[in-house]
Chain A
Amino acid sequence: MWLAPILSLVGLLALVGGGAVVLANVGQVHLSTAFTVVAQVPEGPAEPEALRRRAARAATALDRLRPTGSVIVVDTYRNRLRLYRDGELIRSAVCSTGTGRVLRDPRTGRQWVFDSPMGERVIHRKAKNPIWGKPDWAFIEEGYLPPPPGSPERFDDVSLGDYGLYMGDGFIIHGTLFKTLLGRRVTHGCIRLGDEDLEFVYKNVPIGSRVYLY
């Protein structure tokens, strides 16, 4: 009487277990092994003194590559700009950076990627009351045909704010009309700052200073 349900249960379990074993046999699992670094030392003098000389030479080379003076560091994920002078942090500011979106021209298929650049840039020009020469994408994004080069519609003296620091390839550190969007990724690749931070950066960053974006 009571044997039948038990046998059914055992049968069911055997079926499920067997199915699981078959699936496990088909499946692949992640097999972990400890990450072990095996030192691979290139050929070269290995005596202590020679090693010291090599280390000193490399450290000096690295020091020469490292920038001095005013340095701007931009964290594009957290949307933070930090300004250092001779290694001391002198300003930390909320900024806006590139969306990472792609704009496609429906006529030609040409694409623009709205990323802030990564790596090193140099401030090669600064301007008060900067005028923005609007590129084609600024019109296409709004659904308009770009006007001919040099036409008055291409010049905008409002959007960049009071100051502009030019990093090349059209990338600028500038102000914004949309202050509520500071701290977010909303730009076409430029770095936007609030008014006070922009003024501080403008006044404390000479031309030739390095900008590091990551």
Chain B
Amino acid sequence: MCRSALASICTSLLATATLAGDTPPDPARVATLESEVSLAKKPGVYLVLDPPRRTLEIRSRGLVLDSVPIRGIEVVSQGPLLGSGASGEVRAPAVWTIVAGAGDTDREVIAPAELKPLPPEGEEEEEPTAKPSASPTPTSTPIPEPPVSYRARLDTGWDIWVCTELPPDGVWQRFVAAVRDGWERLRGEGEDHPPAVAIAMQPDDARRIHHLMRTGVAILVAAGAS
């Protein structure tokens, strides 16, 4: 909470980093700042992925609303056990837009089977205190917790993969993963994914940004030394 409070009042760190000191500003950082200006002209929420600072910030109109520390970031692609991965080079600053979000789906649908006429005034059903209310009555069906690992498709064709641990890199672990995936494919359950930017974070952080991974949300990838 303290970090959020402080973050929301301070001037953009990108801006301060760009303007501070007598040394000439980093051109990549200036370009990042200019990209943010174009995003901040719209009233929506956008995310700023800052790999050098290992943060993912939630912003709107240049305000830092919240900040999520990142434990690790890698480019992850699928391939055969002895293959090599996709290039991990990402051009930045860049603005990625989510085109199919993890937060778009998984909604519970309420649909009454049929609708009955309102009871006449004075003949209210059941609880007499139940005046028509702006609020749903306390419900016994809790909202399901968002997952801690999920993917969202980007307009680049890649995914952004939010997870708590980056995929294991050991030879034995990869072999076990290949056997498991091979078994799933034999049963027709294997999944093919495009290359992804995998971002590892704490489980609670992964859950709380799940609903922000929605179609249309922009992610600014910052470049340059902070």
Note all chain B residues with C-beta closer than 8 A to A156: 131-134
Find out whether the CB atom of A27 lies under 8 angstroms from the CB atom of B62. no
Note all chain A residues with C-beta closer than 8 A to B182: 22-27
With an 8 A cutoff between CB atoms, is B73 at the interface?
yes
B82 to chain A, nearest CB (A): 9
Determine the distance from Cα of A139 to Cα of B93 in the docked complex, in whole angstroms. 49
Find out whether the CB atom of B66 lies under 8 angstroms from the CB atom of A214. yes
Given A31-B76, A46-B27, A190-B134: A38 and B92 interface contact (C-beta under 8 Å) = yes
Instruction: Produce 1/0 per residue, B31-46, CB < 8 A to A.
Output: 1011011001101110
Given A24-B182, A143-B116: A32 and B79 interface contact (C-beta under 8 Å) = no
Find out whether the CB atom of A102 lies under 8 angstroms from the CB atom of B91. no
Given A25-B81, A100-B211: A212 and B167 interface contact (C-beta under 8 Å) = no
Find out whether the CB atom of B80 lies under 8 angstroms from the CB atom of A186. no
Instruction: Produce 1/0 per residue, A183-199, CB < 8 A to B.
Output: 01111101010000000
B96 to chain A, nearest CB (A): 13
Find out whether the CB atom of A101 lies under 8 angstroms from the CB atom of B131. no
Find out whether the CB atom of A159 lies under 8 angstroms from the CB atom of B178. no
Interface of B is mostly: mixed
Note all chain A residues with C-beta closer than 8 A to B40: 62, 65
B99 to chain A, nearest CB (A): 17
Find out whether the CB atom of A186 lies under 8 angstroms from the CB atom of B87. no
Note all chain B residues with C-beta closer than 8 A to A188: 134, 136
* Total interface residues in chain A, CB < 8 Å: 97
A33 to chain B, nearest CB (A): 4
Determine the distance from Cα of A185 to Cα of B30 in the docked complex, in whole angstroms. 40
Among A24, A27, A73, A180, the most chain B Cβ lie within 10 Å of the Cβ of A27
Given A31-B77, A54-B30, A104-B110: A177 and B135 interface contact (C-beta under 8 Å) = yes
Note all chain B residues with C-beta closer than 8 A to A174: 134
Find out whether the CB atom of B87 lies under 8 angstroms from the CB atom of A35. no
Residues from 120 to 146 in B contacting A, C-beta threshold 8 Å: 121, 131-139, 143
Given A28-B80, A33-B74: A75 and B109 interface contact (C-beta under 8 Å) = no
Since A24-B182, A37-B90, A156-B134 are in contact, a sample of 19 more A-B pairs with Cβ atoms closer than 8 Å, ordered by chain A residue number, is: A20-B179, A29-B79, A29-B80, A31-B77, A33-B85, A35-B51, A51-B27, A56-B19, A62-B62, A65-B41, A71-B63, A101-B107, A138-B134, A141-B136, A144-B115, A158-B131, A159-B133, A186-B138, A214-B45
Q: Offer 16 A-B interface pairs, CB within 8 angstroms, sorted by A.
A: A33-B87, A35-B75, A35-B90, A39-B27, A52-B25, A66-B61, A100-B211, A102-B107, A106-B111, A119-B60, A143-B114, A153-B132, A159-B134, A187-B136, A210-B61, A213-B45
**B residues at A contact (CB < 8 Å):** 1, 4-5, 8-9, 11-12, 15, 18-19, 24-25, 27-31, 33-34, 36-37, 40-41, 43-45, 51-52, 58, 60-63, 65-66, 73-81, 83-94, 107-118, 121, 131-139, 143, 166-167, 169, 174-175, 177-186, 190, 192, 197-198, 207-209, 211-212, 214, 221, 223-224
